[in-house]
Structure 1
Amino acid sequence: MNVFWFVPTHGDSRYLGTAEGARLVSHDYLKQVAVAADTLGYDGVLLPTGRSCEDAWVTASSLIDATRQLKFLVAVRPGLTAPTLSARMAATFDRLSGGRLLINVVTGGDPVEQESDGIFGTHKERYEISDEFIKIWREVLSKTHTGGETDFDGKHLRVKGAKALYPPIQAPYPPLYFGGSSDEAIDLAAEQMDVYLTWGEPPAAVAEKIKRVRERAAKAGRTLRFGIRLHVIVRETNEAAWRAADELISRLDDETIAKAQANFARMDSEGQRRMAALHGGRRDKLEVSPNLWAGVGLVRGGAGTALVGDGETVAARMKEYADLGIDTFILSGYPHLEESYRFAEHVFPLLPRPQKATLPGFNLTGPFGEIVGNTLVPKGSEAKSAEVKCKAKAKAKPKADAKHDLRVAES
């Protein structure tokens, strides 16, 4: 199970729909979130794209040196740049980061925003452009490893002798992630992408979508992996988690909800339509599936649902999605810094994934927690430290001695 976090380049909130308790986007804050995700053991981070966000590529590049293991899922927007330039950017980032780049292909579903960026055309035409863009992008990067050139003459895009001199570390190219619910999107995913992403719909709807993608990919002789994009609200008890969900929208007024829903309604994104249909803009029907809460989608575009509950409950719901074939979970929560810690502390130990909180130089043997009364080590810390030390010694000792040390630590 791969678990990613989210870098909030559009700003961070404590209460949705208001500036109360909000946080300004700054490099210092984004770095705090990324370093927390890296240290806590998240596999990667997603950086959003669009005019409401700071640029994903510039932000991700600025965070390479602040992190050590973290992968960056960075957006490519077909039509905004040439596929050859985008390929060179990807190769450079992958090389400079030590092979930590993942690509999120975003066709876009808001015609107004698209036109403001100079991209005109129907929904179908935008997917045609994306299809040609990714074909060129993939071939150019694949041929960097052999020195070849690419010629392509399509309906919308054309290149002659295209090439990149510096290959990415990941061969043949950094993995491609993609989400979309329309027929055109599923065709594109099945034919060219590596990981298909869905927003957090109820499990039955996710299962149906995965089935469609698998069947379409099989016709193309391909297989894909699957991921899901969700928010999380995790607390020590289910009751506390639901209180936190209510608190998140407690400052949200009906006028703001209506304006947001009107903006979403103008979009031609099938995924956005499906998100809006879960709640219909109403506050009284937000739990759309057990522990799946659609309150975020009242005002937030894109992913609009959250898993709500204590650690055991959220882990159980994640496992339900995993049973459908989901292996990658891209999560976020408000505020993003604090929620990254809550989720890691309450849920990570319950998931079928390697524990990765051991970065080089990360100390697992000292006192855990704040020293009490200046001299007292927090209860339980000595035993935990001793057990870690004994397990390290066990690799270099005869089995009998190692077992003896572990029995001493446990006692």
Structure 2
Amino acid sequence: MDFHWFLPTNGDSRDIVGGGHGTPVGSAGGVRQPTVAYLSQIVRAAEQLGFVGALTPTGAWCEDAWLTTAMLASVTERLKFLVAFRPGLTSPTLAAQMASTFQRLSGGRLLLNVVTGGESHEQRQYGDFLPKDDRYARTGEFLGIVRSLLRGETVTFEGAHLHVEGAQLSKVPDVAPAIYFGGSSKAAGPVAADHADVYLTWGEPPAQVAQKLDWIRSLRPDMRFGIRLHVITRDTAEQAWAEADRLLRGVSEEAIAAVQAGLARSESEGQRRMLDLHGGNRDGLVVAPNLWAGVGLVRGGAGTALVGSHQEVADRIEEYAALGIEEFILSGYPHLEEAYWFGEGVLPELARRGVWRHPAGDGVQATSAVPFAGVPIAAR
């Protein structure tokens, strides 16, 4: 199994930072600004601790993923960058050229996270007025062109949404970047089956995840699967749940109401499934063993966290792995410190069980070699 961390390009905090599907822009900006210096600390720590990559989000609520990761590639050696981007906001030929350049100049460290876009109001900010199902159809055309170009083919294509003639790349990467794709709606499945290397789901309870994976397997039996979760892990379960309680105390009823009102307008089926886990209510947030839905009260997108001792979190990871999940994309508040808790607590436990090993090779320990201090943050 592989583990990825997350780059908080909307800012970071010891409280839950808003962002993602339907969350009002600027509703919960971080105290730690997403400077190159701070993000560099996170990626260096993630690389050293044993994460193979770092997801960088896309949207009107955060910094641009391509530019940010290009700046951070030079401060890392092994870490890959899972760059989220939206088909339809740029031409497929330009996107293929950008991917090829990044892949070659970074030494093969690009991964592509395709975000079709579940919010029409946000898409319209970028000049995209297609309805949701048409956006999925366009994504299929887009990825077909991009994959052909990255294989070195010359492409002439005229579809319902995209048209290129004689498109080609002057330089093709030795290895095309893997494509990660998520979507819970009926229109998403065939696009994932045709074009994705890894299908992503948000952190639903295991039984619901199993159903979703079975759906995708019925369309593409050899698909690889990943899951997107937050994590709060400590030496003891009591310490972990105390941290979850502290995060919840920092959330006002007004903030919950404002964010939930925005998320209720979301067209995303995945977001609807996240909302169904908690219903906008503080009660009943533990939706499965060690799975807490509190993050989703004030954050769009991934809204659940694994909470518990290092051993308990490792148990839950193995439970998801038994369903077929091979890649875990994680995050926490604040991201630098929570990466250390996971990297120095859960990863060694998984290594001890023989189900994970450090990507840098045998004998490498997930132990602190990067300064832990971070940028000072005001206590709240």
Compute the TM-score of the two structures, normalised by the length of structure 2.
0.90
The letter for the 1-side match of 2:283 is D
- The structure, 1 or 2, with the larger RCO (C-alpha pairs under 8 Å, 6+ apart) is 2
C-alpha distance after superposition, 1:55-87 (max 9, x if no partner): 000011001110011011002211110000000
Percent sequence identity is 55
Using the alignment, how far apart are the partners of 1:65 and 1:191 within structure 2?
Answer: 33
Task: Please say if 1:85 is aligned against 2:84.
Answer: no
Using the alignment, how far apart are the partners of 1:20 and 1:87 within structure 2?
Answer: 32
Deviation at 1:349, TM superposition (A): 1.1
Q: 1:157/1:319 Cα in 2 relative to 1: closer, same or farther (>3 Å)?
A: same
Matches within 5 A, 1:16-165: 16=16, 22-143=31-152, 148-165=153-170
Partner of 1:250: 249
The letter for the 2-side match of 1:14 is R
Using the alignment, how far apart are the partners of 1:27 and 1:21 within structure 2?
Answer: 15
Residues 348 and 366 in structure 2, CA contact (< 8 A), matched pair in contact too: no
Using the alignment, how far apart are the partners of 1:56 and 1:97 within structure 2?
Answer: 15
The letter for the 1-side match of 2:191 is L
Partner of 2:374: none
Q: Secondary structure at the match of 1:52?
A: coil
Deviation at 1:248, TM superposition (A): 1.1
The letter for the 2-side match of 1:5 is W
Task: Please say if 1:169 is aligned against 2:174.
Answer: yes
Using the alignment, how far apart are the partners of 2:216 and 2:92 within structure 1?
Answer: 25
Residues 13 and 19 in structure 1, CA contact (< 8 A), matched pair in contact too: no
Using the alignment, how far apart are the partners of 1:163 and 1:303 within structure 2?
Answer: 36
Deviation at 1:20, TM superposition (A): 10
Residues 182 and 188 in structure 2, CA contact (< 8 A), matched pair in contact too: yes
Q: Secondary structure at the match of 2:124?
A: helix
C-alpha distance after superposition, 1:144-180 (max 9, x if no partner): xxxx41111100101010000111131xx21100011
Q: Secondary structure at the match of 2:151?
A: helix
Task: Please say if 1:232 is aligned against 2:231.
Answer: yes
The letter for the 2-side match of 1:32 is Q
Partner of 2:268: 269
Using the alignment, how far apart are the partners of 2:280 and 2:296 within structure 1?
Answer: 8
Residues 14 and 20 in structure 1, CA contact (< 8 A), matched pair in contact too: no
The letter for the 2-side match of 1:278 is L
Using the alignment, how far apart are the partners of 1:97 and 1:33 within structure 2?
Answer: 18
The letter for the 2-side match of 1:119 is D
Deviation at 1:355, TM superposition (A): 2.2
Using the alignment, how far apart are the partners of 1:164 and 1:335 within structure 2?
Answer: 40
Aligned residues: 358
Residues 40 and 356 in structure 1, CA contact (< 8 A), matched pair in contact too: no
Larger Rg: 1
The letter for the 1-side match of 2:2 is N
Residues 288 and 294 in structure 1, CA contact (< 8 A), matched pair in contact too: yes
Partner of 1:387: none
Deviation at 1:299, TM superposition (A): 0.7
Residues 88 and 128 in structure 2, CA contact (< 8 A), matched pair in contact too: yes
Using the alignment, how far apart are the partners of 2:121 and 2:41 within structure 1?
Answer: 33
Residues 104 and 178 in structure 1, CA contact (< 8 A), matched pair in contact too: yes
C-alpha distance after superposition, 1:108-144 (max 9, x if no partner): 111110011111121111101111110111111112x
Task: Please say if 1:205 is aligned against 2:214.
Answer: no
Residues 235 and 310 in structure 2, CA contact (< 8 A), matched pair in contact too: yes
Q: Secondary structure at the match of 1:72?
A: strand
Partner of 1:314: 313
Residues 132 and 157 in structure 1, CA contact (< 8 A), matched pair in contact too: yes
Partner of 1:15: 15
- Pairwise CA RMSD: 2.3
Q: 1:21/1:187 Cα in 2 relative to 1: closer, same or farther (>3 Å)?
A: closer
Deviation at 1:19, TM superposition (A): 6.8
* Residue from 148, 173, 191 that aligns with 2:194: 191
C-alpha distance after superposition, 1:217-251 (max 9, x if no partner): 24xxxx21000000000111001100000111212
Q: Secondary structure at the match of 2:251?
A: coil
Deviation at 1:186, TM superposition (A): 1.1
Task: Please say if 1:303 is aligned against 2:302.
Answer: yes
Using the alignment, how far apart are the partners of 2:297 and 2:366 within structure 1?
Answer: 42
The letter for the 2-side match of 1:212 is W
Residues 4 and 330 in structure 1, CA contact (< 8 A), matched pair in contact too: yes
